[in-house]
Amino acid sequence: MSTRKEIKRIAIFTSGGDAPGMNAAIRAVVRTATFNDFHVYGIYRGYDGMIKGDIHRIESNDVANIMHRGGTMLKTARSRDFMSPEGRKMAYESLMANDIDACIAIGGNGTFTGAKFFSEEFEIPFVGIPGTIDNDLVGTDYTIGFDTSVNTAMRAVDKIRDTADSHNRLFFVEVMGRNSGYIALNTGIAAGSSAVLVPESDASVDDLILMLRKGAKRNKLFSIVIVAEGNKFGGAIEVAQAVKDKFDFYDTKVAIIGHLQRGGSPTCFDRVLASRLGHAAVGALLEGKRNVMVGQLNNEISYIPFDDAINKPKEINADLLALAEILAL
């Protein structure tokens, strides 16, 4: 296992979907590593850049004035080539050409899967920082970007509420969350939605129709239903079509918020979380840890093996699901 004496040059990269707060994490890694006399190198465009040798030295001044920016200064990309042994060998050769001793990866499930295989094949220590708006990684209460994304979605629904109220409309609002309902559930509660449909719930379209009918009996003038894009009964368009014919007194509309949820200046929460996790990732390397993701559980720094972060499902909060249904009455 690598020790502090063996690690002098570390590389950092972002991979997969971008998330607000990634730049704050990069800043924390670079400045913490510099404080501990490491040389830091940035890998541009994730694993694709690692294969192509797009690796450059980063100094402390290079990460000034980036904390408030969304996206990632290191850019990001998905790499099919890295999925092959030949591609990973090319990536290894690029790291060796730059004398890289360890890597810090910011991303989600796919990023950590690649890091796990690569580290096992070539004995290079990897530490992961959870950067994904979906908040779907076990081992941390929150992932970088989730809070910003939920606030973006909530503000969008607040605006939709104004027109829904004015026109007696039934709105189906689709938010991101391919396999995770965290964005939908939190947005639904915060925006006062009439119902929330998430991948983790068994609630059917018939259940939704029953709930909407209850609201109609109370002379509810408009309704907003939040639908996670990965909902098992379809996205907002499909669900709206299934419900539309049942409520001819509603003017039914669909709004898909889409990639607006990925962009924008990160919230205070995401900036602080990213800073803590970036600092902790360097600390993990100093302590000789490898193949782990740093997280925050109950406001304390935690470490979880990549195997668990990748393979263990993060259960949705059942109490929040029940709360969303009660408050929609």
Per-residue pLDDT of 197-214, as tens digits, reads 999 988 888 888 888 887
Total-model pTM: 0.94
Domain 4-145+266-311, classified CATH 3.40.50.450, yes or no: yes
Catalytic site positions? 134
Q: How many CB atoms lie within 10 A of CB 264?
A: 16
Among 156, 173, 189, CA closest to 231: 173
Question: Three-state DSSP class for 84?
Answer: coil
Among 158, 171, 163, CA closest to 240: 171
The pLDDT assigned to 222 comes to: 74
Question: Three-state DSSP class for 126?
Answer: strand
| Polymer length of the chain | 329
Per-residue pLDDT of 263-294, as tens digits, reads 999 999 999 999 999 999 999 999 999 999 99
pLDDT score of 216 more than 90: no
The pLDDT assigned to 204 comes to: 83
Least-confidence region, from 98-102, 165-169, 240-244: 165-169
Question: Are 4-145+266-311 and 149-262 the same fold in CATH?
Answer: yes
Rounded mean pLDDT of 46-53? 97
The pLDDT assigned to 167 comes to: 81
The pLDDT assigned to 210 comes to: 85
Rounded mean pLDDT of 190-196? 93
pLDDT score of 3 more than 60: no
| Residue 121 contacts residue 91 (beta carbons within 8 Å) | no
Separation between Cα atoms, residue 129 and residue 150, nearest integer Å: 20
Fold entry, domain 149-262: Rossmann fold (3.40.50)
Rounded mean pLDDT of 223-247? 90
Contacts of 70 (CB under 8 A, 6+ apart): 18, 20, 23, 148, 262, 263, 264, 265, 266
For 2, 16, 112, 192, 307, the CA distances from 109, given in Å and listed in that order, are 24, 9, 5, 31, 10
Separation between Cα atoms, residue 304 and residue 310, nearest integer Å: 10
Contacts of 212 (CB under 8 A, 6+ apart): 170, 194, 195, 223, 225, 243, 246, 247
| pLDDT level of residue 1 (50, 70, 90 thresholds) | very low
Residue 97, exposed/middle/buried by CB under 10 A (0-12, 13-18, 19+)? exposed
Per-residue pLDDT of 81-139, as tens digits, reads 999 999 999 999 999 999 999 999 999 999 999 999 999 999 899 999 999 999 999 99
| pLDDT level of residue 249 (50, 70, 90 thresholds) | low
The pLDDT assigned to 165 comes to: 83
**Torsion angle defined by CA atoms of residues 199, 203, 206 and 207, in that order, rounded to the nearest 10 degrees:** -140
Q: Where are the alpha helices (DSSP H) in 287-328?
A: 306-311, 318-327
Residues of the chain above pLDDT 70, percent: 96
Q: Where are the alpha helices (DSSP H) in 196-258?
A: 205-217, 236-244
Which helix (H) or strand (E) segment is 296 a member of? Answer: strand 292-297
Question: What are 195's two structure tokens?
Answer: 């119902």
pLDDT score of 261 more than 70: yes
Question: What b/e sequence results for 58-74 when a residue is b if at least 16 CB atoms lie within 10 Å of its CB, and e otherwise?
Answer: beeebbeebbebbbbbb
Separation between Cα atoms, residue 288 and residue 283, nearest integer Å: 9
| pLDDT level of residue 237 (50, 70, 90 thresholds) | very high
pLDDT score of 2 more than 70: no
Hey, where are the domains in the chain?
4-145+266-311, 149-262
Question: What are 255's two structure tokens?
Answer: 């709004």
Separation between Cα atoms, residue 147 and residue 231, nearest integer Å: 21
The pLDDT assigned to 31 comes to: 98
Contacts of 323 (CB under 8 A, 6+ apart): 189
